[in-house]
Amino acid sequence: MSATGAAAMVPLYEQVKAHVLRMIGSGELQAFSRVPSENELVRLLNVSRMTVNRALNDLASEGVLTRTAGVGTFVAEQSVRAHPLQINNIAEEIRRRGHRYHAEVLLLELACADQALAREFGVHPQAPLFHSIVLHHENERPIQIEDRYVNPVVAPDYMSADFTVETPNEHLVRVAPLQRAEHVVRAANPDPDQAQLLDMAPGEPCLVLRRRTWTNEIVASFATLLYPGSRYEFAGRFTV
């Protein structure tokens, strides 16, 4: 591994991070398993220890690894974390952890706004709305049910998008600038269908995120995201 190759452009420490993430993604490194030590990676990748150190520290501060002086570096199989406020892309979030992502489209239809939806969107009842239900998987395990209504005015091509390639969120961000968002986080028991889709244990609660987003002062989408309580949590930090 060398930085001098004209191809590079990607910093060495990023290449080291990618190497470790690949090892995690390929299953070579399981949760809690030990990551090669800094010196081993130095020999393996032919970079300096400081470069490896930076790469591993980065991944640790991102929550991918945990490190203990005198012991070693390990894969941190934390339950997933996301910041509730940043409109996050679940696909990117999973891939950043070096895990495999795929989506399953359960429903994609043209729906009519009922009373409640009409109020959320500020449209008349019976107004057309796109409606999608997508099941997102991390390492072949379901992690999120995304039940989303979209305003056709904002995203007219929503129905022809392929959500196994591009998440609904990515599609919306691409076609319409996000201007404002409102969200509500709750804990709730899933109904039986949802529990089965998310492969949840009996009695396990869900973390529920409801989000409404605006584009150009009109409601663009209204989404309900369900996560298994035992496998997902929102995390965030802020500075005063």
Partner DNA sequence: CTGGCTGACCTGTATAGACAAGCTTCCGGC
Partner DNA sequence: GCCGGAAGCTTGTCTATACAGGTCAGCCAG
Q: Which residues bind DNA (CB under 7 A)?
A: 2-3, 8, 11-14, 35, 37-40, 47-51, 53, 56-57, 60, 67-73
The interface region with a second copy, picked from 78-86, 100-108, 122-130, 191-199 by CB under 8 A, is 78-86
Question: Given its phi and psi angles, is residue 180 left (phi above 0), alpha (psi -120 to 50 degrees) or beta?
Answer: beta
Interaction residues for a second copy, span 30-49 (CB under 8 A): none
> DSSP letter string over 32-64?
TPEEPPHHHHHHHHT--HHHHHHHHHHHHHTTS
Interaction residues for a second copy, span 177-236 (CB under 8 A): 177-189, 203-208, 227, 229, 233-236
Do 133 and 146 form a contact (C-beta atoms < 8 A)?
Answer: yes
| Residue whose entry in the numeric block shows the structure tokens 């989408």 | 221
Residue 236 CB, shortest distance to a second copy, in Å, is 6
Residue 110 CB, shortest distance to a second copy, in Å, is 28
Do 149 and 184 form a contact (C-beta atoms < 8 A)?
Answer: no
- Residue 62 contact among a second copy, DNA, none, beta carbon within 5 to 8 Å by kind: a second copy
Can you tell me the distance from the alpha carbon of 138 to that of 74, in angstroms, rounded to the nearest whole number?
A: 20
What angle in degrees, to the nearest 10, is found between the helix axes of 38-45 and 12-25? Answer: 110
Can you tell me the distance from the alpha carbon of 15 to that of 23, in angstroms, rounded to the nearest whole number?
A: 12
Residue 42 CB, shortest distance to a second copy, in Å, is 18
Could you give the maximum distance between any two Cα atoms of the chain, in Å? 66
List the Cα angle 150/152/155 in 5-degree steps: 80
Residue number, 67 or 81, with CB nearest to DNA: 67
- Residue 49 contact among DNA, a second copy, none, beta carbon within 5 to 8 Å by kind: DNA
- Residue 116 contact among a second copy, DNA, none, beta carbon within 5 to 8 Å by kind: none
The interface region with a second copy, picked from 3-11, 56-64, 98-106, 142-150 by CB under 8 A, is 56-64
* String of contacts with a second copy for each residue 79-118, x by CB under 8 A: xxx-xxxx--------------------------------
Residue 164 CB, shortest distance to a second copy, in Å, is 27
